[in-house]
Amino acid sequence: MDDTIKQMLSGYQTALAAYKQKLGESHAKLMKAYDIYAKLCKKAESLNDAMTFYSDKEVSTSMADMSALLVELAQEKQDTSLATIPSVDQVAAAYHIAYEQLPGEMKKTRSVYERIFEIEKQSQNALMFLRTMADEKIFLKLSIMQQLEQLEGKKEEAQRNSNPVMVNYYEKMEAKIPNVMSIAELEYYANLESEIALYQNWWDILLLNTSVTLLCNAIAGWLLTQSEDDREEVENSYRFIAYFYGIDMDELFAVPRLKDHVVKVISKSVNNSNSMESAEALISQFKNAIQACINGRDPVKRGPAKNQTLILWEREAPLQALEEAYKTNVYKTL
């Protein structure tokens, strides 16, 4: 289970435990809250990462229901027959478990936990413990630090893997997380950016599959077999791309987004290297193969120049500036 999700569930568990002491375990709203908590735990076990978890519609609905119930529970009067207040160590136990599981390099997150343990020592009971935690915004600080540290190195990894959509996602989250004022705001941005990244990843994959991936796979097949069927596959793929995108082979491999994919993904898989020299040699080989497959055939018809401008989020996305479109188009539409 992702550590961020684990910490969120721990926060719910702590809150519900406090209300259980205040209202009793048979309280109707509390029982409903525990049912939602159980659903979220089950979802957390089945979904592998925070992005997938927070973008799940059922999770979003459950979290909204849980937030509403926690507000209602806070307004309920205490059951006077329940005089027992839980000990501080009972409430803090989950934080000790989470702390032990944290990687040693997450120093900022560990420092927040260490402050929690200081508060634990200074508190006479669980209510004082939770009150001090709330006054110092510990719950928010914990979520912020944990998410920021989990993002470290992710943007650079996305750049190495030629994934501008996720580069944008990590940049946006790194900029927004430190400035949020509440956990609800943090959850909102996590959901928003996850939804945006999910759609843009699909769009980007479709772009690649109808351009360089389509053509390079056909070329690879022809280079291997030299068969007429595979030659026709190269010719047909190139004719489709030339018309659909309005570009020739030189322009195709010069599109920054497409060339980046060729250099960092295709060239690396072929040559076990993503150096520009190896990539340029491979691109030259691809162009020679295309030329060989269309020699003596009818001229390739290019589509109109307007085909070089795509539409993303109902806004123009020129082929030469796709990375910028990933960063700006959706935010102009919202």
Please tell me the distance from the alpha carbon of residue 37 to that of residue 59, in angstroms, as a whole number.
10
pLDDT at position 14: 82
How far apart are the two ends of the chain, measured CA to CA in Å? 32
Q: CB-based burial of residue 276 (10 Å sphere; 0-12 exposed, 13-18 middle, 19+ buried)? A: exposed
At residue 13, the pLDDT reads 85
**Tell me, what's the pLDDT at 85?**
64
Instruction: Please give the radius of gyration of the chain, using alpha carbons only, rounded to the nearest integer.
Output: 27
Average pLDDT over every residue of 19-31 = 81
Looking at residue 30, its pLDDT comes to 83
Q: Which of 18, 12, 9 is closest to 42 using CA atoms?
A: 9
Give the model's confidence band at 84: pLDDT under 50 very low, under 70 low, under 90 confident, else very high.
low
Quote the CA–CA distance of 136 and 130 in Å, as a whole number. 10
- Residue 139's nearest CA partner among 108, 112, 179, 174 is 112
pTM: 0.72
- What's the pLDDT band for 48 if we cut at 50, 70, 90? low
Q: What are the tokens at 324?
A: 């910028």
pLDDT at 80: 62
pLDDT in tens, 211-245: 999 999 999 999 999 999 999 999 999 999 999 99
Q: What are the extents of the domains in the chain? A: 3-163, 210-303
Per the listing, tokens 């806004």 go with 315
- 136 band by pLDDT with thresholds 50, 70 and 90: very high
What is the rounded distance in angstroms from the CA atom of residue 284 to the CA atom of residue 253? 10
What distance lies between CA 314 and its chain's CA centroid? 22
Residue 83, phi then psi, degrees to nearest 5: -95, -10
- How confident is the model at residue 65, as a pLDDT? 82
One-letter-per-residue 3-state SS of 172-201: HHHHHHHHCCCHHHHHHHHHHHHHHHHHHH
Q: What is the pLDDT of residue 211?
A: 96
46 pLDDT band, cuts 50/70/90, is confident
- Residue 312 is classified by DSSP as E
Q: Which of 91-105, 179-193, 198-212, 261-275 has the highest average model confidence (pLDDT)? A: 198-212
In which band, very low, low, confident or very high, does the pLDDT at 67 lie, cut at 50, 70 and 90?
confident
CA dist 53 and 148 (Å) reads: 17
In angstroms, the CA 1 to CA 3 distance is 6
Residue 175: pLDDT band by 50, 70, 90 thresholds? Answer: very high
More confident residue, 244 or 91: 244
CB atoms within 10 A of CB 281: 13
pLDDT classification of 259: cutoffs 50, 70, 90: very high
User: Has residue 316 got a pLDDT over 80?
Assistant: yes
